[in-house]
A and B are shown apart, each in its own frame.
Chain A
Amino acid sequence: MARLFNTLAQRRDTWSGWYANSKLAVLVLGSLAILLSATLLQVSFGAFPLTLVDAWYTVFDPDVLFSVDVWRAFLLGDEIPKWFTPRQHVVWNIRLPRILVGVLVGANLAVSGAIFQIITRNELASPYILGVSDGAGLVVLLTLTMFSGLLPVMPVLAALGGGVAFLLVYAIAWKNGTSPVRLVLAGVVVGTVFSSVQRALFFFIDNLGVVMSAQTWLSGSLLGTDWAQVRIALPFTVLAMILAFVVTQELDVLLLGEDTADSLGMPVEKVRFAVAGIAILSTAAAIAVAGLVGFVGLIVPHIVRNIVGSDSRRLLIGCLFLGPALLVGADVGARLALSPIQLPVGIITGLVGGPYFLYLMRKKENLGEV
């Protein structure tokens, strides 16, 4: 009898595992489909018109795909080979890298958003919650107004600024340890001060072009990104993603709350700081190449959690695919909707994200009850 029950329980386990995984598979395939169609649109349309067939022939052009020189140029920053046709140049050097940067930024924001929602145990947390966006934004404005000599390394400086703000938030929140609420409140404190300084700095800019570029950067944009941005973001993204998947077990336990995690033998403070560090690394990689793209890191983890549940590994895998799909999809709108004017992609994600959040608020009555 007991054996029968055991077998039944095992069956049920296998089946429910299969069911959850199949939902994840649907999510992943759906995301890939969106990503593929967005890529198709991005590559074909624009100021240099191509037919769909031409565009795809160029993307899968074996001369480019299997050329060592080309990949050295893309990934190591060597000279672009002289034999590139204008068409190859447009597809491979302008449109594809922009999509790739979008993929990296989307994955980073979604995964770091999921991590921040877990460690703050707050569904409203985003990658920018612990002062990161304000720290990065302040550095950007400082660079543009006072240290214009540092412009070439501005992305890296911005990411560093975000990291410093995060450490500051942690220091302020620390009092015999931290708690999710203290961290969020400290984030608000640091954010308020930093954003005031930011607004003050705007008055010191007399060049309208600089104001425009600061605005673009603060809204988050993939305008003008190319292989240089891929080279900046790729290593950090790969590192952050590997680390994030290494700590899924820790994330699962953190989600149960500090007391329980503590009882289960987890050094909660150390783990939380380390995990937040991974998320900051990931966020920084995104900020460095695209500025402050809003809402992706807030909404994608929500959608994924609604579909696959709170299991951290499934959640992160879902984010890894849906984040890029959403961001690249939104960038199609940003680039082509009002052509020839290109909007920052952050504006599109905000326009899509706001109503989705409203829908979520109406549908889930307990949302926001911390």
Chain B
Amino acid sequence: MTNRQSTRSDQALGSDQSDTQETERETTAELRSTITEFSGTDLVIGYPGTDGPVINGESITVPPDEVTALIGPNGSGKSTLLKGLANKIAPDDGTVLLDGQAVDSLGTKELARKLGLLSQENVAPDGISVADLVERGRYPHCGFFESLTAEDRAVVDDAIQLAGVAHLRERDVGSLSGGQKQLVWIAMALAQDTEVLLLDEPTTFLDPHHQLEVMQVVETLRDESDTTVVLVLHDIGQAARYADHVIALKDGSVYAHGAPESVITSQLLADVFGIEAVVLDTDYGPQVIPLDPLHDECRSE
């Protein structure tokens, strides 16, 4: 466990700075029992009717309670891996474990109470309000005949606050801008109140303001809750700034993984993304300045 994380977990548990080493160790042990283990082993994931699998025999472990970013060029299997982890595409081989249980052994609603996935593109129906849409995130928590309880409503309110869409509460979802809609969808996923939250390209197609709004929500989740976040990002700079852990994918294989500083290097950008780039070490983590595309001849060397 990294130093950074144990500091954060202490804060989360509200333990005093002056605590002895022993109590600190205890809290860490206690924490370890409540955090969510989430990992995939030897995953082979593909789509029916296509030639080979997209992901071929990869294993990944997601550090609990942290933000993990999947990066990689188009077609490298980021979204496929995410869907495989969420059991939306049943892996041909391998297992995904959540808290020691295989995800495919859980009932659909049971899984949805522990793991949320927000897909890349969502089409909101016309004629429902933001609050109504967010309330539907409580679906896995409601029984067949039950309606929302006071507790459900409190979770919905929190999700709306956290996603920063309280001022849009009564607006018709159809009338919102693309960025606002995305925040509303994130609020719905938050209302699902899961231990693990998977976001598929949550910032793609958004203007800079809304990209930052989305990433701020992710940051808040990391700092103020025990949610494990895995997200696909196209913007390497965002991954470097907001993620604790970066996994770079190339052609369906994990090319590198680790802290942003160790993963995002000009060598990796050349090998994985095929670009020549300068990586600057800044206070906001490594930042990438793309210079030129590399062509195939250069890449193969």
Chain A residues proximal to chain B, CB less than 8 Å: 5-6, 9, 12-13, 16, 121, 176, 246, 249, 252-253, 255-257, 259-260, 262-267, 305, 309-311
Contact = CB atoms under 8 A, between A and B. Distances in A.
Contacts of B170: 12, 16
Going nearest first, the 7 A-B pairs with the smallest beta carbon separation are A265-B112, A310-B127, A265-B109, A309-B127, A265-B140, A259-B119, A263-B117
A258 to B, nearest CB: 10
Contacts of B118: 263
9 contacts: A13-B131, A256-B122, A260-B122, A265-B108, A265-B139, A266-B108, A267-B108, A309-B172, A310-B125
A266 B192 CA distance: 13
Interface of B: 48-49, 86, 88, 107-113, 116-119, 122-129, 131-133, 136-137, 139-140, 142, 144-145, 147, 157, 166, 169-170, 172, 188-189, 192
B136 A257 contact: no
A263 B125 contact: no
Nearest to B106: A265
Nearest to B126: A310
B136 A253 contact: yes
B128 A310 contact: yes
Contacts of A256: 122, 124-125, 133, 136
Nearest to B141: A265
Given A6-B157, A263-B86, A263-B119, A246 B145 contact: yes
B171 to A, nearest CB: 10
B127 A305 contact: yes
A266 B139 CA distance: 8
A121 B124 CA distance: 11
Given A9-B157, A253-B139, A262 B127 contact: no
Nearest to A20: B129
Contacts, number: 82
A264 B139 CA distance: 6
A265 B289 CA distance: 41
Contacts of A265: 107-113, 139-140
Contacts of B127: 305, 309-311
Contact of A9 (B110, B144, B166): B166
A114 to B, nearest CB: 12
Nearest to A123: B126
A359 B155 CA distance: 42
Given A12-B170, A267-B108, A309 B192 contact: no
Contacts of A264: 112, 136-137, 139-140, 192
A260 B131 contact: no
A249 B142 contact: yes
A281 B292 CA distance: 62
B125 A249 contact: no
A242 to B, nearest CB: 12
A249 B108 contact: no
Contacts of B108: 262, 265-267
A263 B128 CA distance: 19
Contacts of B188: 260
